[in-house]
């Protein structure tokens, strides 16, 4: 039998005997090199012709935890964990050297038995994607899976990739109508098979929030600090990933965090202004993918709107500069927006500064855009939230009216200067 990547091997070579895990040969390397990962963690390359004998010590096995059926505890709430992929579901694949989404919600329960002390867990895998690959159809699948479970559990946890977690959180906030219980989204910046993974603490806190928080909102639950102190619960429409790799990457924007969640099971409410658990009957709205999110920048190519019109787009979110400006004097975007409006396209606008709000009337140019071109200004709504909302709004009778309504806390009425960069 020939050794395969992932197998533990002993190589007897002209330069000595080496034991380790056989790795795939990176495409850039010549065919004549064999690479193994030594016990020390170092990789070495050996000229294949120098290998006199290869012995397979152990064939590669995917290190999945054993599945155990947990006993139902009638004293505990029941939580559905729906896994969708991302780093929290990933492990390093020693065959490819990459990270791939593989662990399911059920595996988490086996790897993190303390979850069963917080709640009875009903685990299922609804997809296995990296979140950068998510589509509006995936958002719909997540919403439908959550609504299906809501009638017989006390809360939902969705495990998700972190890259676009805030888009999904916003999308689910709009897609699920009449939400009655918490839908908590969590993930990890480091995969479970690394010592420094944030996955388990995030999971414990997310399940705690789903089981005990009195809210009926879609919220993200992730590390609040660089240390393993506690997690923060953030409203799904007012949250953004603000760092590529820090475990405390997620922050509330133009909003206060909803709560602090600790691994000892306590929840400290930090924002009383949230939708409470209720007896409503949730359902799923429809969604369109005919929306473009366009970032304004100096000397931008005005053809971008034309391009989207050709793709039969029905909605445009403009991430404008600061208070809501777009090029209107030189190289004006005005004619293209007017043409879009004539073609029945709904154009809405928010700020790329992320913090603060757009003001349609402060400057003459802003008046031209809001009143002259009929662009709807979205106050302090985040561009990503606006994108997800417009995807849903386009399937409603009056998309502009839907955009203006505060459906899921996406508009904060109060000025929250104190929460800037917190
Ligand atoms: N690219 C991954 C994803 O978003 C990153 C992560 O999960 O943290 O799915």
* Least confident residue range of 89-103, 199-213, 254-268, 321-335: 89-103
How many A from CA of 184 to the centre of ligand 1?
17
Can you tell me the distance from the alpha carbon of 252 to that of 129, in angstroms, rounded to the nearest whole number? 25
Can you tell me the distance from the alpha carbon of 331 to that of 348, in angstroms, rounded to the nearest whole number? 20
Q: How confident is the model at residue 26 (pLDDT cuts 50, 70, 90)?
A: low
Average pLDDT of the segment spanning 9-14: 93
Domains of the chain, by residue range, sit at 8-58, 78-284, 291-404
Q: Which atom of ligand 1 is nearest to the CA of 164?
A: 4
Give me the long-range contacts of 87-90 (CB less than 8 A, separation at least 24). Answer: 87/161, 87/162, 87/187, 87/188, 87/189, 87/190, 87/191, 87/199, 88/159, 88/160, 88/161, 88/186, 88/187, 88/188, 88/191, 88/192, 88/199, 88/202, 88/203, 89/128, 89/159, 90/191, 90/192
Can you tell me the distance from the alpha carbon of 333 to that of 302, in angstroms, rounded to the nearest whole number? 6
Give the model's pLDDT for residue 34. 86
Is residue 28 predicted with pLDDT exceeding 70? Answer: no
Residue-wise pLDDT for 352-393, tens only, equals 999 999 998 878 888 888 888 999 999 999 999 999 999 999
Is residue 103 predicted with pLDDT exceeding 80? Answer: no
How many A from CA of 29 to the centre of ligand 1?
28
Share of the chain above pLDDT 90, in %: 72
Give the model's pLDDT for residue 35. 82
Contact 216, 276 (CB under 8 A): yes
Average pLDDT of the segment spanning 203-225: 98
CA distances from residue 177 to 69, 106, 146, 203, 285 in whole angstroms, order as listed: 33, 28, 12, 25, 7
Give the model's pLDDT for residue 62. 62
Is residue 229 in contact with ligand 1, taking CB distance under 6 Å? no
Q: Which residues are catalytic?
A: 87, 162-163, 241
Average pLDDT of the segment spanning 203-207: 97
Residue-wise pLDDT for 335-350, tens only, equals 999 999 999 999 999 9
Q: Which has more confidence, 43 or 156? A: 156
Residue-wise pLDDT for 81-97, tens only, equals 999 999 888 876 655 55
Identity of the highest mean pLDDT range in 22-36, 45-59, 135-149: 135-149
Residue-wise pLDDT for 253-291, tens only, equals 999 999 999 999 999 999 999 999 999 999 999 999 999
Phi then psi for residue 239, to 5 deg, are -135, 150
Q: Which atom of ligand 1 is nearest to the CA of 133?
A: 9
Give the model's pLDDT for residue 215. 98
Of 187, 241, 242, the one to substitute when testing ligand 1's pocket (max ligand atoms within 8 A of C-beta) is: 187
Q: Which class does domain 291-404 fall in? A: alpha beta
Can you tell me the distance from the alpha carbon of 259 to that of 383, in angstroms, rounded to the nearest whole number? 24
Do the domains at 8-58 and 78-284 have one common CATH topology?
Answer: no
Give the model's pLDDT for residue 111. 83
Q: Which has more confidence, 239 or 418? A: 239
Give the model's pLDDT for residue 220. 98
Residue-wise pLDDT for 34-66, tens only, equals 888 787 767 788 888 899 999 999 988 765 545
CATH topology of domain 78-284: Rossmann fold (3.40.50)
How many A from CA of 420 to the centre of ligand 1?
26
* Least confident residue range of 11-15, 110-114, 122-126, 161-165: 110-114
Share of the chain above pLDDT 70, in %: 93
The end-to-end CA distance of the chain, in Å, is 58
Is residue 228 in contact with ligand 1, taking CB distance under 6 Å? no
Q: What is the pTM (predicted TM-score) of this model? A: 0.86
Strand, helix or coil for residue 208? helix
Contact 87, 16 (CB under 8 A): no
CATH topology of domain 8-58: SH3 type barrels. (2.30.30)
Is residue 163 in contact with ligand 1, taking CB distance under 6 Å? yes
How many A from CA of 233 to the centre of ligand 1?
19
Strand, helix or coil for residue 150? helix
E-strand stretches of 102-256: 120-129, 155-159, 176-177, 183-186, 218-223, 231-235, 239-241, 250-252
Q: How confident is the model at residue 100 (pLDDT cuts 50, 70, 90)?
A: low
Q: Which has more confidence, 104 or 356? A: 356
Of 162, 167, 199, 249, the one to substitute when testing ligand 1's pocket (max ligand atoms within 8 A of C-beta) is: 162
Give the model's pLDDT for residue 2. 83
Give the model's pLDDT for residue 98. 63
Can you tell me the distance from the alpha carbon of 127 to that of 104, in angstroms, rounded to the nearest whole number? 9
Q: How many Cβ atoms from other residues are within 10 Å of residue 328's Cβ?
A: 18
Return mean pLDDT, the chain: 91
Give the model's pLDDT for residue 68. 55
Q: Which has more confidence, 405 or 362? A: 405
Give the model's pLDDT for residue 104. 77
Q: Which has more confidence, 203 or 99? A: 203
């Amino acid at each position: 039998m020939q050794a395969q990547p992932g197998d533990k091997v002993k190589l007897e070579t002209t330069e000595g005997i080496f034991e380790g895990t056989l790795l795939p040969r990176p495409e850039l390397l010549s065919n004549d090199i064999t690479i193994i990962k030594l016990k020390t963690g170092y990789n070495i390359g050996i000229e294949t012709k120098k290998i006199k004998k290869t012995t397979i010590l152990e064939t590669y096995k995917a290190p999945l935890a054993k599945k155990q059926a947990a006993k139902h505890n009638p004293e505990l709430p029941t939580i559905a964990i729906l896994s969708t992929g991302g780093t929290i579901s990933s492990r390093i694949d020693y065959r490819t050297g990459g990270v791939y989404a593989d662990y399911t919600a059920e595996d988490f329960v086996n790897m993190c038995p303390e979850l069963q002390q917080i709640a009875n867990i009903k685990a299922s895998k609804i997809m296995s994607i990296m979140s950068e690959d998510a589509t509006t159809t995936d958002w719909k699948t997540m919403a439908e899976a959550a609504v299906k479970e809501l009638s017989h559990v006390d809360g939902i946890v969705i495990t998700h990739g972190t890259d676009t977690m805030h888009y999904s959180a916003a999308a689910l906030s709009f897609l699920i109508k009449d939400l009655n219980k918490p839908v908590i989204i969590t993930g990890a910046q480091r995969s479970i098979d690394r010592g420094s993974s944030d996955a388990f603490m995030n999971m414990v806190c997310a399940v705690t929030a789903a089981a005990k928080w009195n809210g009926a909102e879609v919220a993200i639950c992730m590390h609040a600090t660089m240390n393993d102190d506690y997690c923060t619960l953030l409203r799904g429409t007012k949250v953004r990933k603000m760092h590529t790799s820090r475990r405390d990457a997620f922050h509330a924007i133009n909003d206060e965090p909803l709560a602090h969640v600790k691994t000892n099971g306590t929840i400290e409410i930090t924002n009383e202004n949230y939708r409470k658990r209720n007896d409503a009957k949730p359902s799923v709205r429809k969604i369109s993918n005919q929306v473009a999110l366009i970032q304004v920048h100096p000397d931008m190519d005005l053809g971008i709107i034309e391009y989207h019109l050709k793709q039969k787009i029905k909605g445009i979110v403009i991430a404008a500069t600061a208070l809501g400006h777009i090029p209107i004097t030189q190289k004006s975007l005005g004619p293209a927006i007017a043409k879009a409006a004539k073609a029945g396209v709904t154009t809405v606008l928010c700020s790329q500064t992320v913090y603060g709000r757009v003001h349609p009337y402060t400057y003459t140019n802003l008046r031209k855009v809001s009143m002259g071109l009929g662009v709807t200004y979205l106050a302090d709504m985040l561009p990503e939230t606006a994108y997800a909302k417009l995807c849903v709004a386009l399937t409603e009778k009056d998309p502009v009216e839907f955009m203006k309504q505060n459906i899921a806390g996406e508009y904060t009425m109060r000025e929250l200067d104190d929460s800037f960069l917190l």
